[in-house]
Amino acid sequence: MSPQVRVRVPATSANLGPGFDTLGLALDWHDVVTATIVDPRSATGRDRDAQADRRRTTVEVTGEGAGLVPDDDGHLVARSMRETFDLLRVRADHLRLRCENSVPHGRGLGSSAAAIVAGVLAARALAGAATDLPDDAVLALGARLEGHPDNVAACLLGGLTVAWTSQQRVRAVRLEVHPEVRAVACVAAAVLSTGAARGLLPDAVPHADAARNAANAALLIEALTRRPELLLDATHDLLHQKYRAAAMPDSFALVEELRSLGLAAVVSGAGPSVLVLTARQDDTTRVVDVAGPAGWQVRLLDVDRRGAVVEPI
């Protein structure tokens, strides 16, 4: 086994309006995880302390989540690594993780998918098991840990992804995004859990809404890959956003205001952040003019076209 590995994972935005639980977009905003296997026989200092209190993993977090997330085996990266080691039947008694986080937590920008993908890929690399755990198996494991595949697929593969389940297998394809398309993220100050947002969705929707949503999701593929001028129509959603409005009224109001100005705004993932998809240079200024005074953190983002990367140390 390799003693140390570093994984760089992008933020992601899922749904993108009508593509509920299916479409995902990787964004040029990254977390970096460095994972080290600690040999108990040569442990010194901090590592010896970790063994003394019987923790198998120590986690150092800088940036987002520092002081708030677990610093042991309860950390999501560590849990994902342990699941991967178990799947590969590999033993790694003691781990040391350094998580350099910049992707906001609980804001609908794929921080949990990033942690899961980082953990699975780090464990695979440490075990030297790329052939035993190919990317489709990484996707399946990540989707199981996350509960849905859209963010995981985009984080793993980069670009625009379409994820689905066929014969009880999670699958995904990657599409090239039009070179002029950019994303403008309006990051909310508050947090909202994905579970809470999902709990607001109805068991059934009107057939007419479902039909229109399917058309818009299909159109969104064309808009993001070939014809960005169609983004406003293509991002119109009838399946989930309006049902979640009560949990994030500020987000829903911002989406409505931006769309009234001709900007292709959507709730990012489960929210409460808002994402604007655009190919026009002046749209960022227009978003700042609307969202900035209301306290949103506005950030212009390119599309991440590489996905998760295992970097040499």
Residues 142 and 272 in one domain: no
Asked whether residue 276 is domain-assigned, the answer is yes
CA 261 to chain centre: 28
Residues 151 and 294 in one domain: no
Residues 118 and 265 in one domain: no
Return the HEC string of 214-276: HHHHHHHHHHHHCCHHHHHHHCCCCCCHHHHHHHCHHHHHHHHHHHHCCCEEEECCCCCCEEE
Asked whether residue 313 is domain-assigned, the answer is no
Residues 68 and 204 in one domain: no
In the predicted model, is pLDDT for residue 46 greater than 70? no
- CATH number for the domain harbouring residue 234: 3.30.70.890
Asked whether residue 227 is domain-assigned, the answer is yes
In this predicted model, which residue has the larger pLDDT, 258 or 43?
258
Residues 164 and 17 in one domain: yes
Residues 76 and 157 in one domain: yes
Asked whether residue 310 is domain-assigned, the answer is no
Compute the distance between CA of residue 148 and CA of residue 142 in angstroms, rounded to an integer. Answer: 9
Among 150, 176, 202, which residue terminates a domain? 176
Asked whether residue 311 is domain-assigned, the answer is no
Number of domains in the chain: 2
- Residues 252-274: tens digit of each pLDDT: 999 999 999 999 999 999 999 99
Compute the distance between CA of residue 172 and CA of residue 133 in angstroms, rounded to an integer. Answer: 16
Residues 14 and 126 in one domain: yes
- pLDDT of res. 43: 45
Distances (CA, A) of 53 to 43, 46, 56, 72: 14, 11, 9, 11
Residues 138 and 207 in one domain: no
Residues 252 and 164 in one domain: no
- Residues 179-217: tens digit of each pLDDT: 999 999 999 988 877 777 778 888 899 999 999 999 999
Domain span at 194: 182-301
Asked whether residue 140 is domain-assigned, the answer is yes
Residues 51 and 122 in one domain: yes
Compute the distance between CA of residue 109 and CA of residue 48 in angstroms, rounded to an integer. Answer: 36
Return the HEC string of 152-204: HHHHHHCCEEEEEEECCEEEEEEECCCCCCEEEEEECCCCCCHHHHHCCCCCC
Residues 165 and 273 in one domain: no
Asked whether residue 98 is domain-assigned, the answer is yes
Residues 153 and 228 in one domain: no
- CATH number for the domain harbouring residue 68: 3.30.230.10
Among 1-15, 35-49, 136-150, the minimum mean pLDDT is found in 35-49
Among 156, 176, 196, which residue terminates a domain? 176
In the predicted model, is pLDDT for residue 283 greater than 50? yes
